[in-house]
Amino acid sequence: MTDQALRALRENPRLAELAAFPFDFDIDRAAHGHVEEVRLASGGPLGIVAGDATGGTYFVCADGSMLYADSEGSAGIIGSSVDEALEIRIGLAEAEDDEEEPEQQEELEQARGELRAALGFPDRSRAELEAMLRAALLRTEPDFVLLNDGEHNAYQLLDTYPRPPLWEPVLASGRADLALLRAGDRTAWEEVAEDAVRRRLTLRAAQFDRSEGDLELLRHLLRHETRSSMTDELRLAAVLVGSRGDTADLPLLHEVRETDFDTACGLGGIPEPGASAQELREWARELDDSLFGTDPSDEPVSTWTDLARDQGMTELARVTLIRELDEIVMDQSRLRRPDAPRTLTTAPLRALARDFEELGDLPQALRAQRLYAALQETAWDRVSARHTQARLEREAGRLSDAARALAAVRDALATPGDDSVRHWQQVNLGRFIAEEHYLLTGALADADRPKEASALLTSADAILGELSENAATGVRELAEETAARVRKVS
- 14 & 142 share domain: yes
116 found inside a domain? yes
- 13 & 99 share domain: yes
- 252 & 229 share domain: yes
- 141 & 175 share domain: no
Note the Cα 287 to chain centre separation in Å.
29
- 288 & 175 share domain: yes
319 found inside a domain? no
Q: Beta partners for 416?
A: none
CB 55 within 8 A of CB 35: yes
Q: What share of the chain is helix, strand, coil (3-state, %, to 5)?
A: 65, 10, 30
CB 412 within 8 A of CB 374: no
Number of H helices, E strands in the chain: 23, 9
The last residue of a domain, from among 298, 325, 349: 298
Q: How many domains does the chain have?
A: 3
305 found inside a domain? no
Residue 249 phi/psi, 5-degree rounding, is: -90, -5
The last residue of a domain, from among 280, 298, 316: 298
- 31 & 143 share domain: yes
- 109 & 205 share domain: no
- 176 & 279 share domain: yes
DSSP 29: G
Q: What is the largest CA-CA distance in the chain?
A: 89
Instruction: Identify which of 119, 51, 46 has the alpha carbon closest to the alpha carbon of residue 87.
Output: 119
37 found inside a domain? yes
According to DSSP, the β-strands at 57-61 and 74-79 are unpaired
Burial 36-52 (b: 16+ CB within 10 A, else e): eebebbbeeebebbbbb
Distance from C-alpha of 387 to C-alpha of 407, rounded to nearest angstrom = 10
CB 302 within 8 A of CB 355: yes
> What pLDDT, on a 0 to 100 scale, did the predictor assign at position 429?
96
CB 159 within 8 A of CB 137: yes
CB 379 within 8 A of CB 420: yes
Distance from C-alpha of 206 to C-alpha of 180, rounded to nearest angstrom = 12
394 found inside a domain? no
> How far are the Cα atoms of 252, 376, 407, 453, 474 from residue 436, in angstroms, in the given order?
46, 20, 12, 13, 13
Long-range contacts of 319-324 (CB under 8 A, 24+ apart): 319/41, 319/141, 319/142, 319/145, 319/154, 320/142, 320/166, 321/352, 321/355, 321/356, 321/359, 321/364, 322/41, 322/145, 322/147, 322/152, 322/153, 322/154, 322/364, 323/154, 324/348, 324/352
Distance from C-alpha of 41 to C-alpha of 368, rounded to nearest angstrom = 15
- 291 & 215 share domain: yes
Burial 359-372 (b: 16+ CB within 10 A, else e): bebbbbbbbbbbbb
- 22 & 136 share domain: yes
> What pLDDT, on a 0 to 100 scale, did the predictor assign at position 99?
57
346 found inside a domain? no
Q: Residue 65: which domain range?
A: 4-154
Note the Cα 448 to chain centre separation in Å.
34
CB 88 within 8 A of CB 133: yes
H helices of 300-423, where? 301-310, 314-330, 347-359, 362-374, 379-395, 399-414
260 found inside a domain? yes
Q: What is the DSSP string of 380-411?
A: HHHHHHHHHHHHHHHHTT-HHHHHHHHHHHHH
Give the chain's residues under pLDDT 70: 1-2, 96-100
> What pLDDT, on a 0 to 100 scale, did the predictor assign at position 100?
56
Q: Beta partners for 26?
A: 51
Q: Beta partners for 337?
A: 340
CB 294 within 8 A of CB 207: yes
CB 259 within 8 A of CB 226: yes
76 found inside a domain? yes
Per-residue pLDDT tens for 206-257? 999 999 999 999 999 999 999 999 999 999 999 999 999 999 999 999 999 9
Distance from C-alpha of 411 to C-alpha of 18, rounded to nearest angstrom = 63
Q: Beta partners for 46?
A: 61
- 414 & 488 share domain: yes
- 486 & 410 share domain: yes
Distance from C-alpha of 417 to C-alpha of 435, rounded to nearest angstrom = 24
